[in-house]
Structure 1
Amino acid sequence: MKQTQRLDKILSHMGIGTRSELKRLAKSGAIYVNGSKVKDSGMQVNPLQDEITVNGEPVTYKEFIYVMMNKPQGVVSATEDNRDRTVVDLLDDEYAAFDVFPVGRLDKDTEGLLLLTNDGKLAHNLLSPRKHVPKTYFAKVEWGVGQADIDAFAQGVTLDDGYETLPGELRILRQGSEAAGEPSEIELTIMEGKFHQVKRMFQAVGKTVVYLKRISMGPLLLDGNLRLGQSRELTEEELQALRSVHE
């Protein structure tokens, strides 16, 4: 990032107003930089060093933003859609100016961890097939899941289009029973993100996923305090752990 930028560009990026609105704010005496009233909203400032206030409120500059969401069912992993609500529609208004996008996608009927950001470089690294970033899912599967499935996934399975998956780690949390109408509960860690991959992997071994939730992506774990549809910014520790994927 350039050390100095136009003040109106910085404030516009932060969602405080359009350039014309900021020009009017400056004329009304509402904007201060380092304690001095701003007359020209186009002045050059250093957003990481200079103290900026608007209407008495300090402005903390962020070039990039990183948001964890607990995605609910029924919304699509996109920035816009003509038919359905998107994950971006669920975000608080304070994030609107950052033009965030989902890193990868979760199916419309899949819940759980979704990262949204405007940092294209980080997103690219997390999604790069060369990085083999692990993703872990919790699923309910009809019906019994056993050692044969664990062994099959550990070798990789052939999907319906002939694609052979990388090995996955399947863990059985609770064995289901068709007679009792209870699905099995499992966790599956995979290194890829093919379309409907978890569901198609189970289809390859003759089973059906009836509920799916992503619980981790690389070192990032879904915050158990986030209710469905809620989101929060990543902590510095979470962000540093994600950035380590680049190395």
Structure 2
Amino acid sequence: MRERRPPQKSHERGKPSAETGGKRVTLPRALSKLGYCSRTQAERLIADGRVMVDGRIVRNVDAWVDLSSAKLEVDGKAIAAETKIYLMLNKPRGLVTTRHDPEGRPTVYDCLKDFDVRHLSPVGRLDKASEGLLLFTNDTEFAQALLDPITHVAKTYHVQVNRLMDTQSLAEMTHGIRHDGEVLTATAARLLRSGDRNSWIEVELDEGRNRQIRRMLEATGTECLRLVRVAIGGLELGELPKGSVRALTEAELRDLRRRTGMEKTKRV
């Protein structure tokens, strides 16, 4: 008779098979999925010997664990899945998108004083001079899907510029503008309204390069006076007051998940 081997611990087995139902992940990914910290932070905790799996310290960042059965601890405290939180903020101009600013400037977290923000992170960024829709969540998988350029979730901006915008300049933005060695392209650009000396335009992006709209305008000799993000996918800023925060509705969350491919549309 073949000798039976004792069952392996969840962190000692190899990569997951199709039978595991997607519950087996690497240890850093497990801590991230549970909302405890980012994967980079988790790797440091593991390397420092602060993470235990089923009562044993694990220092291997490539170890696999079964989220459905493994008992995870950090510094001797059990880690359980947190309730997922999805918030939207109407970011005021002048706030930096960071948790702690070394220069002591006000941050977007100043608007979240009524929430437990220990594990909440912004989904992407808006620079200090920009305003509008900014998402926060402790669901790292959801955040990564929204930011992944492969998913092409559109971000829509209303932009005030210092001149009367012409159709040629708008067309250049959708055809591609070279700036600092990069070709920057908007998926759509249209005129909203014009005054005597300036215009408001609507610009849609499906990627998030650093200061992309401002750089595109600079390349055409145009100054950006205001930049407001008004929508992410089908989620609109609407009438949310500046500096205010609200939770996403189930319908809004479901739509964003569908746009990222996380939730497939059911066929009737």
1:229 to 243, 246, 256: 243
Identity %: 40
Q: Give 1:56's aligned residue.
A: none
CA distance in 1, matches of 2:174, 2:260: 26
Secondary structure of the 1:109 match is coil
In the TM superposition, residue 233 of structure 1 has moved relative to its aligned partner by 0.6
Matched, 1:175 2:190: no
Contact in 1 for aligned 2:189/2:204 (Cα 8 Å): yes
SS at match of 1:211: strand
Q: List aligned pairs for 1:181-220, cutoff 5 A.
A: 182-220=197-235
Q: Is the 8 A contact 1:142 1:176 kept in 2?
A: no
2:131 is matched with which residue? 111
Tell me the residue number matched to 1:48.
Answer: none
Are 2:94 and 1:80 aligned?
no
User: What residue number does 2:253 align with?
Assistant: 239
Comparing 164-173 with 188-197, which one deviates more in the overlay? 164-173
Query: What's the CA shift for 1:94?
Result: 3.0
Task: Give runs of aligned pairs for residues 143-182 of structure 1, distance below 5 A.
Answer: 143-159=163-179, 161-177=180-196, 182=197
162-171 vs 182-191, which moves further: 162-171
TM superposition shift of 1:70: 0.2
Runs of at least 4 residues of structure 1 off by over 3 A?
A: none
- Once the 2 structures are TM-superposed, how far is the Cα of residue 62 of structure 1 from its aligned partner? 5.8
| Distance in 1 between residues matched to 2:90 and 2:232, nearest whole Å | 13
RMSD: 2.0
Which stretch of the first structure deviates more once superposed, 78-87 or 138-147? 78-87
Q: Report the CA distance between 1:85 and its aligned residue.
A: 1.7
Partner-residue secondary structure (3-state), 1:203: helix
Task: Specify the code of the residue in structure 2 equivalent to 1:95.
Answer: D
8 A Cα contact 1:171 1:186, kept in partner: yes
> How high is the TM-score relative to the length of structure 1?
0.69
How do residues 53-132 of structure 1 correspond to structure 2 at under 5 angstroms? 63-82=83-102, 83-97=104-118, 99-132=119-152
Gapped runs of 5+ residues in structure 2? 1-22, 24-34, 36-80, 262-268
Offset at 1:175? 2.4
Distance 2:170 2:130 in 1: 22
Instruction: Give deviations 1:110-153, integer Å, cap 9, x for gaps.
Output: 11000000111011011011112211101110101111012111
Matched with 1:33 is none
Aligned residues: 183
- List runs of 5+ in structure 1 lacking aligned partners: 3-12, 14-60
SS of residue in 2 equivalent to 1:201: helix
CA displacement, residues 22-55 of structure 1 (integer Å, 9 cap, x when unaligned): xxxxxxxxxxxxxxxxxxxxxxxxxxxxxxxxxx
CA distance in 1, matches of 2:184, 2:258: 25
- Whether the 8 Å CA contact 2:177–2:219 is kept in 1: the answer is yes
Q: Which residue of 1 aligns with 2:16?
A: none
**Distance change >3 Å, CA 246–CA 133, structure 1 → 2:** closer
